[in-house]
Amino acid sequence: MRILLTGGAGFIGSHIALLLLERGYDVLILDSFVNSSFNVINRIKTYLDNKDLKYNLKIIKGDIRDKRTVDNIFFESLKESKPIETVLHLAGLKSVSDSVTNPLHYWDVNVGGTLNLLLTMNEYECHSLVFSSSATIYGLSDSIPMSENHNISPINPYGKTKVAIENMFDDLYKSNKNLWKICSLRYFNPVGAHPSGLIGEDPIGIPNNLFPFITQVAIGRRTVLNVYGDNWETRDGSGVRDYIHIIDLAQGHLASIDYLNSNESCLEFINLGSGKGYSVFQIISQFELSTGCQIPFDIQSRRDGDVGVCYADISKAKKLLGWAPKKSLEEICLDGWNWQIKNPNGYT
Ligand SMILES: NC(=O)c1ccc[n+]([C@@H]2O[C@H](COP(=O)([O-])OP(=O)(O)OC[C@H]3O[C@@H](n4cnc5c(N)ncnc54)[C@H](O)[C@@H]3O)[C@@H](O)[C@H]2O)c1
């Protein structure tokens, strides 16, 4: 069975690709490499070669918005007698701040790209899809844990594009309830790296997320970590979030493929998180304990639009997908640090 993995060279996609190939899937990656390096592909191959695994991996450099490219992928796969049976759609832009500055670009790539993909899938009678949605679609509130029924009210263009895509799925599913099988996975904060240290997160510029910031401070690429607010109503005053090990998140995609394969048509919106809330200070302490590094930090004022506590209710993922996160906060710290020390400047 051939899987089309869009955005497969990115942080999350590369980890999914590796697990899929390890499990024997035939994988075709479509990526424009606008936010990733081709070295990722070499690293995936190195890992599989080192393990003496035979694998089927094809890479197409192209844009998800380009009709001819996407059509060609389905057409050629059919010609090879390896029709694409499922699409994992991760290609897209993900910076909240960039989306505020360039909203049209986000609508074009995220929504336009997904529309193009869905049109082509429909043409080639491929109706099985796993999509990367995000917890940023949920409205601000301290009501926790957040279930899939939490109110949807994104506060930035990035989150709005994810909602628009989920609405598109809803229309599509309702148009013919016997056709489409879709899992839209709402990620919380994926962090850490593959335990091999061969692949990991390599943000371009200043990291938007806490973990890569911590590891870059630890390795000396940045001098100090900014902590936004120490007066939240939490155990220690710092903000509490849900961090999920990237391997657990990737496993959630494999479980989703199994779910789609064993079910009739469906449309499911599913949270993928650890289901636990960790405070910023707790993470700094765990990171220092696990790695022996010191993380100097500065307290800054709260940022607009932040909440004190946010973590996922993952009971739906557990029940529906038979999936549960297995990795601890310590493994997140150790694997993230292992990646950073082996690759102080990322993939470059
Ligand atoms: N990382 C997170 O914290 C997070 C949280 C929630 C949801 N998501 C979603 O998960 C998906 C993957 O995120 P990631 O962290 O791996 O990001 P990433 O930027 O590392 O990966 C995205 C990949 O998509 C590719 N891409 C971008 N535009 C493209 C286009 N027009 N055509 C083809 N390829 C294109 C990029 O080159 C990159 O390799 C994204 O859709 C993102 O919105 C990520």
Domain ranges of the chain: 2-342
pLDDT number for residue 142: 64
Instruction: Look at residue 4 and give its three-state secondary structure.
Output: strand
Q: Are 312 and 269 in contact (CB under 8 A)?
A: no
The b-or-e profile of 303-316 (16+ CB within 10 A means b, else e) is eeeebbbbbbbbeb
Q: Say if ligand 1 is within 6 A of residue 31 CB.
A: yes
Q: What angle do CA 206, 340, 314 make, to 5 degrees?
A: 80
Give the pTM. 0.97
Task: Name the active-site residue from 158, 173, 278, 311.
Answer: 158
Nearest CA-CA partner of 180 in 299, 97, 266? 266
For residues 196, 197, 199, 202, the Cα torsion angle rounded to the nearest 10 degrees is: 160
By the 10 Å C-beta count (0-12 exposed, 13-18 middle, 19+ buried), 80 is classed as exposed
Q: Enumerate residues 6+ apart whose C-beta is below 8 A from 251.
A: 19, 323, 326
Residue 7 Cα to ligand 1 middle (Å):
6
Residue with CA closest to ligand 1 atom 43: 94
As given in the structure block, the two tokens for residue 170 are: 């809803």
Is 158 a known active-site residue? yes
Q: Please identify which residue in the block is written with the tokens 């990737």.
A: 250
Write down the pLDDT at residue 204.
84
Closest to 1 (Cα-Cα) out of 33, 24, 34, 17: 24
pLDDT at position 285: 97
**How far does the centroid of ligand 1 lie from the alpha carbon of residue 72, in Å?**
22
Q: What is the pLDDT along the chain (348 residues), one digit of tens a residue?
A: 799 999 999 999 999 999 999 999 999 999 999 999 999 999 999 999 999 999 999 999 999 999 999 999 999 999 999 999 999 999 999 999 899 999 999 999 999 999 999 999 999 999 999 999 999 999 887 678 999 999 999 999 999 999 999 999 999 999 998 999 999 999 999 999 999 999 999 988 888 889 999 999 999 999 999 999 999 999 999 999 999 999 999 999 999 999 999 999 999 999 999 999 999 999 999 999 999 999 999 999 998 888 899 999 999 999 999 999 999 999 999 999 999 999 999 998
Q: How far apart are CA 338 and CA 27, in angstroms?
A: 27
**Closest CA to ligand 1's atom 18:** 10
Instruction: Select the CATH number that applies to the domain covering 2-342 from these four: 3.40.30.10, 3.30.43.10, 3.40.50.2300, 3.40.50.720.
Output: 3.40.50.720
Task: Give, using CA atoms, the residue closest to atom 11 of ligand 1.
Answer: 90
